[in-house]
Amino acid sequence: MSRPQPRVLVVGGGITGLAAARALALARVGARVVLAEAAPRLGGKISTERTDGLLLEHGPDSILATRPAGAALVRELGLGEELTGTLDPRAVYIRHRGRLVPMPEGLGLVLPTRFWPFARTSLFSWPEKVRMAKDVVWPRLLPADDIAVGTFLRRRLGSAIVDRLAGPLVGGVYGTPIDELSLDAVVPQLRKAETEHRSLLRAGLADGAAMRAAAAKRPPGARSMGVFVSLRGGMGSLVDALARSLSDCGVDVRLGAPVASLRRAPSGVLARLGSADAAADADAPDEVFDAVILAVPAPSAAALVAPEVPAAATALREIPHGTSILVTLAYPRAAVAARLVGHGYLVPPSAGGAISACTWTSEKWPGRAPADTVLLRMFVRDEGTWTQLPDDELAEHARRDAETTLRIAPGAAPDLVRVARWEGAMPRYTVGHLARVAAVEQALTAWPSVTVAGASYRGVGVPDCIAQGQAAASRVAELLSAREAPAELVPAV
């Protein structure tokens, strides 16, 4: 008797779930893949809106080119020609004492890769620069255990670089204060830098020399797209291409289908899937799956595994999540007095205020707004009570911040205002994050049919989520193959 076709449920249609479902469908393990997404659309935090000649990203707007899984998937989907780099000049500013000061050129993740721009910057006083330079003579300071990025950098380089550069830059990306952010989860390269070079400044300069040598080897005229890339049609075109690919692979995609519960079944997992028709759901039978990939934020995963593996639910709940809010504003270019040369500005936490960063989208990416429009993407600080304010108040804070910083004509109203809220769904990689993820994975060994993947665990960036989705698909493919193997030894009856 041949075995029935295995069925796999992917819960969550964000980038992680989409990548997982596609990888599994292509894995040639003969599995029937069902992807269940609670919302009426795919993409999760990837959310692109096109309106009045504007292209708005309410979630991610870029892919880190140094993480190969992102651009590789884009190319596999036939969208290679759609990849676009950022516009020149790629300057970013720090608002310091009310002025926009350019970040020193040649800044790596947080370390200078060139000496002179850092020595000359007006972002730091001479005593602050001398304090930083002491790093060259300090011995190695890192403990064996995880430590906050801020704590480590303060010890080595002093507080000025943390408060004015690393905090707004790295803390901002992760929506977590830098003095709480896990070094091992977020910037493990700093541990490697100290181990190999002892001094972080020396490590940064050595990196810079290596990068310049690699750039010199490029054929003349070949220009790197830069560290961040996107798609001409916006990140939504990646989701659209994935949706088409899933349909071609025969994946059963169900929208408006929240997974309400998972239970152990003798031959796998019993899942209760909702649908747009709540009345019909009451009578719908639970469905049986051989394996489940939970590509949802950890709090949602916790609720689903709690009845069967309470220890995994407890471990999942230990991963803190914050809120990310983005205000998008479009102004007539004629109303903006400041000359926008670069990609935007960061506001250090010490400066206070609701806004932590502002991207000048129209100046950063080609084709996002008509020439007569300035498009701004303003991030609300996830500290204190800012994220609890209603949309209209947050829009007002964003307007005031932009209008003062960019000298926008008093009384000039924006042509467009949008507020995108991602409540309680942004993972915070605080100190000890990797140990918490290991605890989740360990607890889930008690239920091998269920695996987790996504931004809550091993990287929040889109490429990291893609890689995690694909890795989860490989784990499930292995599980199915292992279950299949003994059956081949049994003679068919």
Ligand X SMILES: Cc1cc2nc3c(=O)[nH]c(=O)nc-3n(C[C@H](O)[C@H](O)[C@H](O)COP(=O)(O)OP(=O)(O)OC[C@H]3O[C@@H](n4cnc5c(N)ncnc54)[C@H](O)[C@@H]3O)c2cc1C
Instruction: Report the interface residues with ligand X, using CB under 6 A.
Output: 11-17, 36-39, 44-46, 59-64, 258-259, 295-297, 300, 324, 326, 422, 425-426, 454-455, 460-462, 465
Decide whether 117 or 226 has the Cβ nearer to ligand X.
226
CB of 62 to ligand X, least distance (A): 4
Decide whether 159 or 261 has the Cβ nearer to ligand X.
261
Which residue, 312, 316, 313, 315, is CA-closest to 446?
312
Decide whether 46 or 479 has the Cβ nearer to ligand X.
46
Helices then strands, counting H and E runs in the chain, come out as: 18, 20
What strands, in cross-sheet order, belong to the sheet with 287-289?
A: 259-265, 268-273, 287-289
Decide whether 201 or 452 has the Cβ nearer to ligand X.
452
CA dihedral 436, 441, 446, 451 (to 10 degrees): 130
Q: Which amino acid is at 418?
A: R
CB of 426 to ligand X, least distance (A): 6
CB of 430 to ligand X, least distance (A): 16
Decide whether 203 or 325 has the Cβ nearer to ligand X.
325
Q: Tell me the CA end-to-end span of the chain in Å, nearest whole number.
A: 5
Q: What is the DSSP letter of 409?
A: P
Decide whether 117 or 322 has the Cβ nearer to ligand X.
322
Listed in sequence order, the residues at least 6 apart from 109 whose beta carbon sits closer than 8 Å to its beta carbon are 169, 170, 187, 189
Decide whether 133 or 260 has the Cβ nearer to ligand X.
260
Listed in sequence order, the residues at least 6 apart from 338 whose beta carbon sits closer than 8 Å to its beta carbon are 100, 405, 406, 407
Please state, in angstroms and rounded to a whole number, the distance separating the CA atoms of residues 288 and 270. Answer: 5
CB of 155 to ligand X, least distance (A): 29
CB of 138 to ligand X, least distance (A): 33
Which residue, 298, 290, 338, 305, is CA-closest to 319?
298
Decide whether 41 or 131 has the Cβ nearer to ligand X.
41
Please state, in angstroms and rounded to a whole number, the distance separating the CA atoms of residues 424 and 321. Answer: 5
CB of 454 to ligand X, least distance (A): 3
Please state, in angstroms and rounded to a whole number, the distance separating the CA atoms of residues 236 and 422. Answer: 17
CB of 486 to ligand X, least distance (A): 32
CB of 187 to ligand X, least distance (A): 16
For residues 409 and 337, the answer to whether their CB atoms sit within 8 Å is yes
Please state, in angstroms and rounded to a whole number, the distance separating the CA atoms of residues 486 and 404. Answer: 70
Please state, in angstroms and rounded to a whole number, the distance separating the CA atoms of residues 184 and 187. Answer: 6
Decide whether 177 or 461 has the Cβ nearer to ligand X.
461
Which residue, 45, 7, 18, is CA-closest to 469?
18
Q: In this structure, how many other beta carbons lie within 10 angstroms of the beta carbon of residue 177? A: 18
CB of 258 to ligand X, least distance (A): 4
Mapping DSSP to helix (H, G, I), strand (E, B) and coil, where does residue 355 land?
A: strand
